Amino acid sequence: MISTTELSEYFPIWKNLTSEQQNLLAESVMERSFVKGENIHGTGKSCLGLLIIKSGQLRTYMISDSGREVTLYHLYDREMCLFSASCIMQNVQFDVFIEAEKETVAFQIPALLYNKLMNESLPVAKYTNDLMATHFTDVMWLIEQILFKRIDQRLAWFLLEQTKNQDNDTLVMTHETIAQNLGSAREVVTRMLKYFQSEKWVSLGRGHIKIENKIHLQRLI
Amino acid sequence: MISTTELSEYFPIWKNLTSEQQNLLAESVMERSFVKGENIHGTGKSCLGLLIIKSGQLRTYMISDSGREVTLYHLYDREMCLFSASCIMQNVQFDVFIEAEKETVAFQIPALLYNKLMNESLPVAKYTNDLMATHFTDVMWLIEQILFKRIDQRLAWFLLEQTKNQDNDTLVMTHETIAQNLGSAREVVTRMLKYFQSEKWVSLGRGHIKIENKIHLQRLI
C-alpha cells in the first residue's frame, strides 16, 4: 500500500478529497514501472487507468495505417496521464498511443475508481476538465503549426541550411535571431526547438543548437 | 426573461441544478439572434458566454495568418457552443473563430455565471467535460484525416474523376461502393461526404452525390 503522505504529494487535488476518497485511493493505487520504449497504451488494449509520473517520461502519439507517427505531447514528472483511462470517458472517441520514453515509475489509479471519483467529486471533475483542456491546447497548437505555419519545415530547413557549410553540426545562434530570420516570434521558435529536442532531432544548449538527426529534419522538409 | 419551461427544454442538465441555480439562469440568460455569416467569436473579442442553439447553425474554425480557414466542427439545433466562453477556461489556450452559417437564434449564458456554476455544480462540471471531450474527438478526427489518411484528397479526386466524362455533376453510387474504390470503410466515406456537404462542396441524396463546388474539391487535391 502506498503511503497517504506520498500520494498527497503527487495527487494535485488530494486535499480536496474526503477522507473516505483518500482511503479508497490509498488502498487501490499501485506503483508501476515501465522500461524505456515500453508500449503503455494503444488501440484495443485494456484500460490501464490513470498514471501519475513519479519519475520518467511518457510520449502520447498517433499512428497511421502505414506506421507513420505524430507526437501529440510529452508527460514529465508529476504530470498525470489521462488517456490511458480513455475507456471511462465515453465522449473520448479516438485512439492515442502512449509509450515510456525513459525508464518510468508511476502511480496507477484504477480506471473504475477514477470514474467513481469523477462522478462524485467536483474537484476531481474540474481537475479532469483542466487536464483535458491542456491536452486539447497541445493538440490545437500542433494542428496550427502543421496546417498553417509550417514553422516546423521552415525551422528544419533553416537549421540544415545554416550548418551545411560547417565542419560540425552545432549552430551558435540565439532563438531570437532564428525567429527574426524566419519572420516568427521567439516564443514560437523556442517551443518548436523544444519539440525538436523532445523528438531527439536536436539538442539545446545555452546559445547553441546541435543537430542530432539530420535525416529526420530533412524528412520534415 | 426566458421562461424556465423553455430553458429546461434546451439546457440538458437543467433538472440536475438546484432551484437557486435554475433561477439565476432564468434571470441571466438572454435570447440572441445572429444573421447568416455573422462573426460570433474570434481572437481578441470579448467573452460572449455560452450559446445554446435554438435554431440555426454555427461553424467553429481556425484561421491562418494568410487567411486560410479550416473548419473544426459545426454546431446544430440544441447543441451548446463552449468556446465562445473560452475566457473562463484558463487551460484553453488557443483561439478559434465561430460564425453563424445560417440565421441563428440562441440562448446566451453569461460567461461568469457559467463559471460560477462550473465551480459549484458537479453536473455542470461533468457536462462541460463531456462537451470538451466531444470537440476534442472532432478535432482528433480531423487531424487524423489530414495527416494520415488524406481520405479527403482521395475522395475529392474520386468524385471529380468519376463525373469528368458525364454531362452532369451527379454521381450515382453508394457510399459503400466509393469506400471499396478507395480502399476505405463506408463509415469513413460517409463521414467525409457529410463534411464535404457541410462545406457545401457536395450535396447528398439517396444513392447519389451532386458536386456543388468543383473549384474547392480541386483545391483539396
HEC readout, B114-149: HHHHHHHCHHHHHHHHHHHHHHHHHHHHHHHHHHHH
Q: What distance in Å separates the CA atoms of residue B159 and residue A195, rounded to the nearest whole number?
A: 38
List chain B residues with CB under 8 Å of A90: 130
Reported ipTM: the value is 0.70
User: Which pLDDT tens digit goes with each residue over A83-136?
Assistant: 888 888 888 888 889 999 899 999 999 999 999 999 999 999 999 999 999 999
Q: How many CA atoms lie within 13 A of A64 on its CB side?
A: 14
- Confidence at B149, pLDDT banded by 50, 70, 90: low
Q: Name every residue in A having a CB less than 8 A away from some CB of B.
A: 62, 64-66, 68, 70, 89-94, 96, 118-122, 125-126, 128-137, 139-144, 146-149
Identify the H or E element spanning B32.
strand B30-34
Classify A155 as helix, strand or coil.
Answer: helix
pLDDT at A179 (0 to 100) = 80
The model's confidence at residue B46, banded by pLDDT at 50, 70 and 90, is low
Contacts of B125 (CB under 8 A, 6+ apart): A122, A125, A126, A129, B118, B119
pLDDT at B152 over 70: yes
The pLDDT-based confidence of A44 (bands split at 50, 70, 90) is low
- Amino acid identity, residue B58? L
Which pLDDT band holds residue A79 (cuts at 50, 70, 90)?
very high
Q: How far apart are CA B73 and CA B77, in angstroms?
A: 14
Residues in chain A within 8 Å Cβ distance of B130:
90-91
Interstrand relation of B50-55 and A58-63 (parallel, antiparallel or unpaired): unpaired
The 3-class SS string of A16-79 reads HCCHHHHHHHHHHCEEEEECCCCEEECCCCCCCCEEEEEECCEEEEEECCCCCEEEEEEECCCC
Burial of B4 (0-12, 13-18, 19+ CB in 10 A): middle
Q: Kindly report the CA angle at A55 between A52 and A57, in degrees rounded to 5?
A: 80
- How many Å apart are CA B57 and CA B75, to the nearest integer? 6
| Distance (Å) from the alpha carbon of A130 to chain B's nearest alpha carbon | 6
- Rounded CA gap, A167 and A163, in Å? 8
CB neighbour class for A138 (10 Å; exposed up to 12, middle 13-18, buried from 19): middle
Lowest mean pLDDT among A61-75, B72-86, B90-104, B167-181: A61-75
Measure B106 CA to nearest chain A CA, in Å.
24
Domains of chain A, CATH where assigned: 4-130 (2.60.120.10), 148-220 (1.10.10.10)
Q: Are B214 and B169 in contact (CB under 8 A)?
A: yes
Cell reading at B75: 454546431
Contacting residues of A for B147, CB less than 8 Å apart = 62, 64, 68, 70, 146
DSSP state of A156: H
- How far is the alpha carbon of B64 from chain A, nearest alpha carbon, in Å? 6
Residue in B73, B131, B132 to test binding to A, most A beta-carbons within 10 Å: B132
Q: Which residues of A touch B118 (CB under 8 A)?
A: 126, 129
Using only C-alpha atoms, chain A has a radius of gyration, in whole angstroms, of 20
User: Is residue B45's pLDDT more than 60?
Assistant: no
Q: CA–CA separation, A56 vs A35, rounded Å?
A: 10
Is A24 a residue whose pLDDT tops 80? Answer: yes
In terms of CA atoms, which chain A residue is nearest residue B83? Answer: A133
Angstroms from B165 CA to nearest CA on chain A: 33
By three-state DSSP, how is residue B74 classified? strand
Q: In this predicted structure, what is the pLDDT of residue B32? A: 95
> Which chain A residue is nearest to residue B130, measuring alpha carbons?
A91
Which helix (H) or strand (E) element contains residue A214? helix A214-220
- A191-219 per-position pLDDT tens digit: 889 989 988 999 998 889 999 998 888 88
CA–CA separation, A203 vs A211, rounded Å?
Answer: 7
SS3 at position A4: helix
Q: Residue B105 is placed in which grid cell?
A: 437564434
Nearest-CB residue to B146 (from A119, A141, A147)? A147
Report the half-sphere exposure of A180 (CA within 13 A, side-chain side): 5
Confidence (pLDDT) at A146 = 67
Angle at CA B164, nearest 5°, toward B207 and B217? 75
Report the alpha-carbon distance of residue A148 to residue A155 in Å, rounded.
14
